[in-house]
Amino acid sequence: MKGFFSLFVFLVIFGSVRGDLKLGFYKSACPKAEKIVQDYVNQHIPNAPSLAAALIRMHFHDCFVRGCDGSVLLNFTSSSGNQTEKTAPPNLTVRGFDFIDRLKSLLEAECPGIVSCADIVALAARDSIVVTGGPSWKVPTGRRDGVISVASEALAEIPAPFDNITTLIQNFANKSLDIKDLVLLSGAHTIGISLCTSFSNRLYNFTGVGDQDPTLDSEYAANLKSRKCRTQNDNTTIVEMDPGSRTTFDLSYYSLLLKRRGLFESDSALTRDSNTLALINQLLQGSLQNFFSEFAMSMEKMGQIEVKTGTSGEIRKNCAVVNS
Ligand code: HEM
Ligand SMILES: *[C@@H]1O[C@H](CO)[C@@H](O)[C@H](O)[C@H]1NC(C)=O
Ligand SMILES: *[C@@H]1O[C@H](CO)[C@@H](O)[C@H](O)[C@H]1NC(C)=O
Ligand SMILES: *[C@@H]1O[C@H](CO)[C@@H](O)[C@H](O)[C@H]1NC(C)=O
Ligand SMILES: *[C@@H]1O[C@H](CO)[C@@H](O)[C@H](O)[C@H]1NC(C)=O
Ligand SMILES: *[C@@H]1O[C@H](CO)[C@@H](O)[C@H](O)[C@H]1NC(C)=O
Ligand SMILES: *[C@@H]1O[C@H](CO)[C@@H](O)[C@H](O)[C@H]1NC(C)=O
Ligand SMILES: *[C@@H]1O[C@H](CO)[C@@H](O)[C@H](O)[C@H]1NC(C)=O
C-alpha cells in the first residue's frame, strides 16, 4: 500500500505535472539538440529579428490546434485532400517555416529521427525571443509530432482579431488557460505586426453603416487611415501593433491599450472587462522583470497544451510532411 502511494506521489511529481514533458528530454539520446537550436537562433535571429515574432506566433498557433504537435508545419497530410492549418487566414507566419526546416536538417544530421518538429518550434520560439531581449522560459521537451492538420480547425480554434472578451476567455479556457494567461500572452503583440485586413473594419465599417469603432482613439484611427490602411480593402500594408517599440519586448503594448490604441478588437477588449483591466494595471505598475516572469509562466502553460508524448504521434523526418 505504502509502495503504491509512493509510486503515485512519484508519478504526480515527475510525470503529469509537466504533462509528461520533461526538462532535458534529449539529454541522453541527442545531447547537443538544444544547443544546436540555440546556436542557430543566436547566429541568425540578430540579422532577422522580425522572425522572432513569426516563431512565437507559430508556436501559439501550433498549440491551439490539436495541441503543440507540429501540425502547423504540415504542407499536406497522407491521404485526404485536406487543406492544412498553415493555409488558414490570416497566416503572416509563412516566413518562419523554412527556418524550422533548416533547424530540422541540422538536427537530423546530428541524430536522425530523435528530435520532434513540435519541440523544435517550442525551443526556437523561446530562444529567438531571448535574442530580441525578451523573457526566457522553461521548455520541457518530449513532444511528439501529430499526423493531422486541418485548415478549418485552425479557423475555428485560433482566436480571431474581432473576438469579444467572452469569446476570448472561453477560447483560452478551452485550452486550460485562464484570463491571466490571456492578458499576458496577448502581450506578445508588443513585437507584433499585422495586415490592415485584420482590423480595417474598425476604421471604415464597424457596424455596417460606414462607421468607425468608437473605442479606438480617433486621432490614431485618422493616422492609420491617412498613412497606412488607406482603403478598407488594403490587403498588403503591414502595421506595427506597438509603433515606436515594435522590436522591443516591453510593457508599451499595455500602455497603448489604455490609450485606446490597441490594434485589434481583441486587444482593446482587454481594457473593458474589470478583471482583465485590473491585470493590465498590475502589470503596468510592476517592473519589466515582473512582466517577464509572469509571461514566462504563461508560455510554459501554453507549451504544454494537449501534447502528445510516449508512443503517440511520431518523430517526423521532414517537418512539412508526415512520415510515410
Ligand atoms: C488573444 C488572442 C489573439 C488574437 C485574436 C491574435 C490575433 C493576431 C492577428 C490577427 C495577428 C496579425 C496576423 C495578420 O495580420 O496576418 C497577430 C499577430 C501576432 N500575434 Fe497574435 N493574437 C492573439 C494572441 C497571441 C498570442 C497568445 C501570441 C503569442 C504568445 C501572439 C503573438 C503574435 C505575434 C508575435 C504576431 C506578429 C506576427 C509576425 O510578426 O509575423 N498572439 N495576432
Ligand atoms: C512546404 O511548403 C513550403 C511553403 O510553405 C515550402 O517552402 C516547402 O518547400 C514545402 N515543403 C515540402 C516538403 O513540400
Ligand atoms: C494564406 O491565406 C491566404 C488567404 O486565405 C491564402 O490565399 C494563402 O494561400 C495562404 N498561404 C499559404 C502559405 O497557405
Ligand atoms: C481531414 O479532415 C477531417 C475533418 O475535416 C479530419 O477528420 C481528418 O482526420 C483529416 N484527414 C487528414 C489526413 O488530415
Ligand atoms: C461575443 O461574441 C459571440 C460570438 O460572436 C456572441 O455570440 C456574443 O453575443 C458576444 N458577446 C457579447 C457580450 O457581445
Ligand atoms: C470551446 O470548446 C467548445 C467545445 O469543444 C466549443 O464548442 C466552443 O466553440 C469553443 N469556444 C471557443 C470560443 O473556442
Ligand atoms: C459596410 O458594410 C455593409 C454591410 O457589410 C455594406 O453593405 C456597406 O456597403 C459597407 N459600407 C461601406 C462604406 O463600405
Ligand atoms: C487582395 O485584394 C485584391 C483586390 O481585391 C485581390 O485581387 C487579391 O487576391 C487579394 N490578395 C490577397 C492575398 O488576399
Rg (alpha carbons) of the chain, rounded to whole number? 20
How far away, in angstroms, is 316 Cα from ligand 1 center?
26
**Domain boundaries in the chain?**
22-157, 165-302
Residue 127 identity (one-letter amino acid): D
Tell me whether residue 119 is annotated as binding.
no
Closest C-alpha to 198, from 271, 61, 92: 92
Catalytic residue (choose from 61, 66, 104, 246)? 61
Residue of 166, 174, 266 to mutate, ligand 5, most atoms within 8 A of C-beta: 166
Cβ of 87 closer than 6 Å to ligand 5, yes or no, is: no
Tell me whether residue 28 is annotated as binding.
no
Q: What is the pLDDT along the chain (324 residues), one digit of tens a residue?
A: 444 445 444 444 444 444 689 999 999 999 999 999 999 999 999 999 999 999 999 999 999 999 999 999 999 876 667 899 999 988 876 789 999 999 999 999 999 999 999 999 999 999 999 999 999 999 999 999 999 999 999 999 999 999 999 999 999 999 999 999 999 999 999 999 999 999 999 999 999 999 999 999 999 999 999 999 999 999 999 999 999 888 899 999 999 999 999 999 999 999 999 999 999 999 999 999 999 999 999 999 999 999 999 999 999 999 999 998
Instruction: Give the Cα-Cα-Cα angle 281, 283, 286 (nearest 5 degrees).
Output: 110
pLDDT value for 79: 62
How far away, in angstroms, is 186 Cα from ligand 7 center?
30
Whose Cα sits closest to atom 3 in ligand 7?
208
Tell me whether residue 243 is annotated as binding.
no
Give the number of the ligand closest to the Cα of residue 166. 5
In whole angstroms, give the CA distance from residue 22 to residue 26.
Answer: 9
Residue of 83, 87, 150, 198 to mutate, ligand 3, most atoms within 8 A of C-beta: 87
pLDDT value for 90: 82
In whole angstroms, give the CA distance from residue 6 to residue 18.
Answer: 18
In whole angstroms, give the CA distance from residue 207 to residue 165.
Answer: 18
Whose Cα sits closest to atom 2 in ligand 7?
208
Q: What is the CATH topology of the domain spanning 165-302?
A: Peroxidase; domain 2 (1.10.420)
How far away, in angstroms, is 189 Cα from ligand 1 center?
6
Which residues sit with their C-beta closer than 6 Å to ligand 2?
75, 94, 97-98, 318, 320-321
| Beta-strand relationship, 238-240 and 193-195 | antiparallel
In which element (H, E) is residue 231 found?
none
pLDDT value for 76: 83
Q: Is position 59 annotated as part of the catalytic site?
A: no
In which element (H, E) is residue 69 found?
none
Tell me whether residue 65 is annotated as binding.
yes
Cβ of 170 closer than 6 Å to ligand 6, yes or no, is: yes
Ordered alpha helix ranges (H), the chain: 2-14, 33-44, 50-64, 97-110, 117-131, 151-157, 165-173, 179-186, 200-204, 218-227, 252-258, 265-268, 274-285, 288-302
User: Domain spanning 22-157 has what CATH number?
Assistant: 1.10.520.10
How far away, in angstroms, is 66 Cα from ligand 6 center?
13
pLDDT value for 3: 47
How far away, in angstroms, is 211 Cα from ligand 7 center?
9
- The pTM score is 0.93
pLDDT value for 78: 66
The terminus-to-terminus CA distance of the chain in angstroms comes to 46
Whose Cα sits closest to atom 1 in ligand 6?
174
- Cell 521537451 belongs to residue: 141
pLDDT value for 16: 41
